[in-house]
Structures are given as structure tokens and as C-alpha cells.
Structure 1
Amino acid sequence: MTKIERVLAMISGEAVDKLPKGEFFIEDALVSRLLQLSPSPSPQSVDLEARMKACELLGLDALVFMADQKKPGRPWAELQQWQEESDFFLFSLLDGPFQGVGYTYPDFTDFLMDTMRDKEKIEELVKESIQRSLNLGRAAITSGAHGLFIADDIAYNHGLYISPRIMREMFFPYLKELLQGLSRTAREVTGREIPIFFHSDGDIWLILQDLKEIGFNGIHSLESVMDLAQVREAVGGDMCLMGGYELGWFETGGTSKVDELFKAAMPGRYIFGSSAGILDAGLSPQAVLEVYRYIDKIKCCEGMS
């Protein structure tokens, strides 16, 4: 199977030849150190060729790209280049309504307070954020994105930043509007549906059912504060989980943690990756490579649903 076929098959619950793997980014220093382990000659600088070689070495299938705000006319130029020169499954990352508004405040606490004291202001800012994400989403799909991530960091390790009730009143209707608008755009531009995932760090246990009802195809991050087996039970086998592997486990847990995650995620749809989404420069390249090569040995050829 190609990388794109493998990811789409897993998300759809169809048979795959091996477990798909995906990350957001590999930091430059780790790219260089990984390529030192490669038997083939490696580029001297961390350019596009080097980054592609590192992703191939790890056997990644999916990557996630952010818009380049310094290029308002071509925010997805990097994604487009990867689309033209590689065979990876490419996600584009867009702000959700909570994150899209919260990041505009100099003080995050003021934003949280305004969700209770100035709901009209928040509603107007949410509408503006949704329109920005819809515009960026259309540009991403036109540039060749195979899927989309809506990033909405609504939680920390001990729960949501605001109550589920306020999330449902003030943000989730617009989150659903954003997802549906992006789905319509995908059908208009490509003639088909594309998968849309939700990303948030932290403990999002209280709103898992909301995310399923809104219509997301998958959830990413799944930090260790979230029990993956309980998440699977809560959302069912037809929602694709992605992530779950803590960066510290490369040194302390290794392949045994991979086995734990796979057991917890099954039966169901799953793309392996780190919870952080970013493989940082401090990781051991040998440990990272060992984990990613081990994943290819996991037997998961039956359908996932």
C-alpha cells in the first residue's frame, strides 16, 4: 500500500498492511542525528531532502503542516512542495474557535474571564476566527492537503480550561460549523470527503462524546492523562485515535509501551505517533528508530472497525 492508501484505509476501518505512523514535525538536530544512522549518504544541511529522508527512515506515513503566516499569499507553500515531491499523507493544521480566539489575547486569563463576563465579544471573535480557518482550509485543500486537523487546545492535565457547559454553549456550535464548512469545501474542490481530526492536549475526557457527535473522524494527542483503553471504549471503534506515545517513553518504556498502546487502541482505528506530535532534539535517535521500526512488525492486517 502507499502511505496515502494506508492512512485512508485505517481511518475508514479497512484492512491495512501495517500500522500507519504520523507526526507533526522532527526538530532539525534530531533529523541530522537520525541521518547519521542511515546507510545511505545524507545531506549536510537540514533541507527538504534531509527532512524527507528522516521521515522515510522512521517509516512515517502522515505529516502535519501549519500555515506560514509570513506568506499570506502562499500560506501552504511548504505543504504544496511536499505534495509535489513526496508520497506522504499531508494534514493541514487550522485553529478551532477556542484556540483561535484565545491566542489573540495578550493574557490568556483575560480570555477565560471574558467567556463568562462578555459573551457577545467572544461570539464576535469566534465568528472572525472561524472565517479565518475556513479561508485557510480552502487554501490548504487547494494546495493538496489530504486531510485536516482542527487544533483547539481546550484542556490541561487536570481537565478543561472552562466548563463543558460553556464549551457547548459558546464554542462547540461553531466548531461543528467549521467542520461542516471544511467538509463542503473539500467536496467542492476535490469531489470527495477528506478526514478531519481534532487536536487538543490535556484531559478532554468530559467532551469525548461531543467530539464524536460533532463528526470528527479522529482525535490526536491523547496524552498519558487520558487512559487510551477508556477513550477507545468511550468513542467506539469507528473513531480513529492518533498519538498517545509520550516522548519520555522512548528512553524509559521503548517497545513495551508500543505494545500497551496497541492493545488499548484495539479493536479500532489507530495511527501511531507521539502525544506531542513533535520529536524534539533531545531524543535519542537510536531509541526513536528502534520504536518506529518495531511498529512495522505489529500484525494488524484485518479491518479496524
Structure 2
Amino acid sequence: MSKAEQKIKRVLTALQDHKEPDRVPLTDFYWSGFLSNWKKAFNLPEETDIYEYYDLDVKVISPNMDPKVESCVILEKTPDYVVFKSGFGCTVKKMFDAPMPMFLDFSVKSAEELLNFTFDDPRDDRRYFEKRCDIINCGDSFGTLPSFAEDIERNKDKFCLFGSICEPYETMWRIRGTEGLLLDLAMHPEKIKAFAQKVTDFMLGIAEREIELAPLTGMVIWGDVAYDKGMFFSPKLWREIFFPCVKRLCDFIHSKGLITIYHGCGRSLEIFEDLIEAGVDVYNPLEAKAGMDPVMLKKRYGDRISFFGGIDTRLLGEGNWEEVEKEVLYKLQAAKGGGYMPASDHSVASNVDPVIYDKLIGLLKDKGRYPLSV
């Protein structure tokens, strides 16, 4: 069995079958600032891949899924920042010493304009075979990545690979802006519902082409519809507008023999039953500050859904090793019987000490072996 096949088996045993593999599967998402600090801390070559270095199991590789293929058109550039227009039509400012970009303006100003917004061909070869500088792949940096196809070829024999797509809300706020979209949801829900179906059609086209080009095990669906206190809008509205779209995405992914990971930040407990009904197999990232405790959630939902994430990034960035160790050993209880992949509760940020993170991975590999003793 090849290394990739071993990792695929480990991931599916834990997350799909809800059983115990040899050890808990591992992966994470990383800010570019952390990766830079990590390489400096351990005197590593610039080309070092953290996933290979720690022999992690899962790698998520995404194509350019911007509505317009032409992404990141530079409007202004200085030594300190760059201003660009993204393929979503929004104008974005990226300060090179800041972790995330600022959204300055949105080209769509009304629900009516949103309905008239058009998407480029989801199967356009440029999305998959040209270098990527789109907003989803380069959200906390402004660099150029290898093409989707090149990244797949480089990693297909090393990792359990997942592709990714966005559900409609995640797509629409980048086109309309959060304030404008929330206003439209309240005043013009039928128009938003109609556009959500167009977004879903587009993302299904992206997913179909990813699956054709890559040996994927699953697909991540990006969908932030909540913050740390609850939903951005009513659960009733989510069920009416977005549930049918998420179900269509999950149904298609399952029809291709893949599993689904739904990445939803914040406290989305009010729609958790709906996400399970829609076909979500794994929920991520389980933000600690939002009360998304994987140990507690597994007790309630663990026979119907698996979990990925949950390790408090506030502790990773600001706590000492004893606090981090206590957090990890507690969260690993969710892995008893399978059904859990430990990771940060969003991504590994720039303020995380590389030495602490290195010890964290060592602890997960040591204590994450079955039978667990935590």
C-alpha cells in the first residue's frame, strides 16, 4: 500500500466509517506569516512543505473558483501594500505586513444587479492549468501559486487529497459585500434565492472538473454563515435559501464517491441538524470561542457526523505549553471510537510560536495512536 493509500484509508476509517484507524488523521491550514516564521525558526529551505515535513495526512488543493477567471488585477502597488480587483468584482487592499486583506468596495450595489451578475465558464482551462493568484487560494498573501493541475501532480502520491468549492453565501458576500447582502436577504429574499441557485450551478461545474482532473477523496465546502454568538441571519432564512443549495452540492459530491467537509466558522448550532440532513460528513473548524467543543458535539451528534479542528488558536498563539498540552489531551477525547481529526479551530496564525507548534504535532502523533490513552 502506497503512502497516499495509507493516508486515505486512515482518513476514511476515522471520518467516514466512524472507526479507529492506526492513529488520528492530521492536517491543518496555515497563514503565510506562520510558515515564514516556522522556516526561520528551524532554519529550513524556503521550498520546505510543512505538510511533507510533518507527514500530515490531508491536503486541500483548490482551483481558481473566482466568478471571473481574470483574478487580482492590480490597481495600485507600493512597497507596503497592493490594491487589486478580484475575480468576484470586489476591490481589495492587501497590506503586506497584515494577515488578511481589507475589502474596500464591491462592484454590485443592489439585489437587482446581483441577479444580473454573470459567471465565466467553470470549466475554463485557465482555472486548472494556469498559476493561481485568486482570492480564495491567496487570501492571506499576495503571491502566485502553481496551477491546480501541477499541485495535484506534485502531491497525489503523498497525501489524501481534497478539492474545494464555496456554498452560495460564501460566494455572494464577496460579490455584494456583507452589509449589502444581509440587507438584500431581509428585503429581497426571493432574488437572493434565485441567485443562490446560479451560484450553486457554477460551483457544481467547478466541482465536476476538479473530480475529473484529480484523485480526490473528498471536497471541502467553504461556508461561513455564523459568528461566535450565532448565525448572521435567521436559521429559517438559511433553510429556505441555502439548505437546498448545500444539499445539491453534497448530493453531487456523494454521487462521485467522495466525502464532504463543511468549513463553517462561528456558532452554527441552530442549523447543525440541517447540515447533517443536507449530507455534510465532517464539520470544521469548531471554533472554541464560539463554544463548538468537539467532545461535547460528538456526544450529541457523533453517530451521524465527524469533526475536524477544535484546538483553541487563542491558546496556540498566547498560551504556554502546559495550557496547550491540556487543551490537546482534552480535545483528543473526541477521537475515541474514531470520528475526529484534531487541528486548530480555524488555522495556524502568525502569532503561533513554531516551537510550540512543533511540540503540538509531536504530542498529537504520540497520544493520537490507538488505543488512545489521554
Q: What TM-score, normalized by structure 2, do the two folds share?
A: 0.70
Per-residue deviation, residues 145-200 of structure 1 (Å, max 9, x unmatched): 3210111100001100111111111110121112112333x2xxxxxx11111111
Greater relative CO, 1 or 2 (CA 8 Å, sep 6+): 1
Alignment-mate amino acid for residue 246 of structure 1: D
Q: Secondary structure at the match of 1:3?
A: helix
**Counterpart check, 1:123 vs 2:196:** no
Provide the C-alpha distance between the structure 1 equivalents of 2:127 and 2:40, rounded to a whole number of angstroms.
29
Relative to structure 1, the CA distance from residue 17 to residue 268 in structure 2 (aligned partners, 3 Å threshold; closer, same or farther) is closer
**Counterpart check, 1:214 vs 2:275:** no
Verify the 8 A CA contact 1:19 1:298 in the aligned structure 2.
Answer: no
1:138 Cα deviation from its structure 2 partner = 0.9
Per-residue deviation, residues 62-90 of structure 1 (Å, max 9, x unmatched): 12233224575243454433432331112
Provide the C-alpha distance between the structure 2 equivalents of 1:265 and 1:172, rounded to a whole number of angstroms.
28
Alignment-mate amino acid for residue 136 of structure 1: I
- The answer for the alignment partner of 2:53 in structure 1 is 57
- The answer for the alignment partner of 2:222 in structure 1 is 151
Higher helix fraction (1 or 2)? 1
- The answer for the alignment partner of 1:6 in structure 2 is 10
- The answer for the alignment partner of 1:180 in structure 2 is 251
- The answer for the alignment partner of 1:81 in structure 2 is 150
Provide the C-alpha distance between the structure 2 equivalents of 1:124 and 1:299, rounded to a whole number of angstroms.
46
* Aligned pairs (5 A) from 1:29-44: 30-31=35-36, 33-34=38-39, 37=42, 42-43=44-45
Q: Secondary structure at the match of 1:301?
A: coil
Alignment-mate amino acid for residue 61 of structure 1: D
Verify the 8 A CA contact 2:332 2:368 in the aligned structure 1.
Answer: no
Q: How many residues align?
A: 285
- The answer to which of 195-204 and 263-272 deviates more is 263-272
Verify the 8 A CA contact 2:225 2:231 in the aligned structure 1.
Answer: yes
* Aligned pairs (5 A) from 1:226-305: 226-250=292-316, 251-252=318-319, 253-277=323-347, 279-301=348-370
Gaps of 5+ in 2: 71-123, 130-146
Verify the 8 A CA contact 2:24 2:335 in the aligned structure 1.
Answer: no
Provide the C-alpha distance between the structure 2 equivalents of 1:219 and 1:76, rounded to a whole number of angstroms.
27
1:58 Cα deviation from its structure 2 partner = 2.6
Alignment-mate amino acid for residue 235 of structure 2: P
1:299 Cα deviation from its structure 2 partner = 4.7
- The answer to which of 161-170 and 258-267 deviates more is 258-267
Provide the C-alpha distance between the structure 1 equivalents of 2:371 and 2:272, rounded to a whole number of angstroms.
26
Q: What TM-score, normalized by structure 1, do the two folds share?
A: 0.84
Percentage of pairs with the same residue:
22
Relative to structure 1, the CA distance from residue 238 to residue 124 in structure 2 (aligned partners, 3 Å threshold; closer, same or farther) is closer
Out of 234, 240, 248, the position equivalent to 1:169 is 240
**Counterpart check, 1:195 vs 2:259:** yes
Provide the C-alpha distance between the structure 1 equivalents of 2:325 and 2:239, rounded to a whole number of angstroms.
39
